[in-house]
Amino acid sequence: MIDTLVFLHGRLALALILFAAALGVWGSAGFLIRRQVGPGFRSSYILMIVLTGVQGLIGVALITMARPREIVHVVYGAFAIIFLPGVYLWAGRGNRAREAAFLAASCWIVAIAYVRGIFTGA
């Protein structure tokens, strides 16, 4: 059971890095050509939030079975869980240019956090 969870946790981590980077490119390109964030980007961003939550639940299950090598690994995950929805809610209340900039930047920030999480957990 623990081997399966470790495998899923690792693969979902890689998928989240790629997904966050893809959203970062998409959002940055949209911002640079002065386009508003569309519903496709918003729904993809929400999907990233949900997948991060699933990743966190798998991580919590693993913590109950074995201690992580470094506790900072857990901090990076908690950061992403709090940061992504917070930015989404805050950026959506301003003008559309600000929303595009903040959502794109947040994708790059969590992509870095996901990478750091992998390095501290490996």
Query: What are the tens digits of pLDDT across the range 66-108?
Result: 877 788 888 998 999 999 999 999 988 878 778 889 999 999 9
**Per-residue pLDDT, 44:** 96
Q: Which two tokens stand for residue 100?
A: 């595009």
Query: What are the tens digits of pLDDT across the range 10-39?
Result: 999 999 999 999 999 999 998 888 788 889
pTM above 0.75, yes or no: yes
Q: Which residues of 77-110 are buried (b: 16+ CB within 10 A; e: fewer)?
A: beebbebbeebbeebeeeeeeebbbbbbbbbbbb
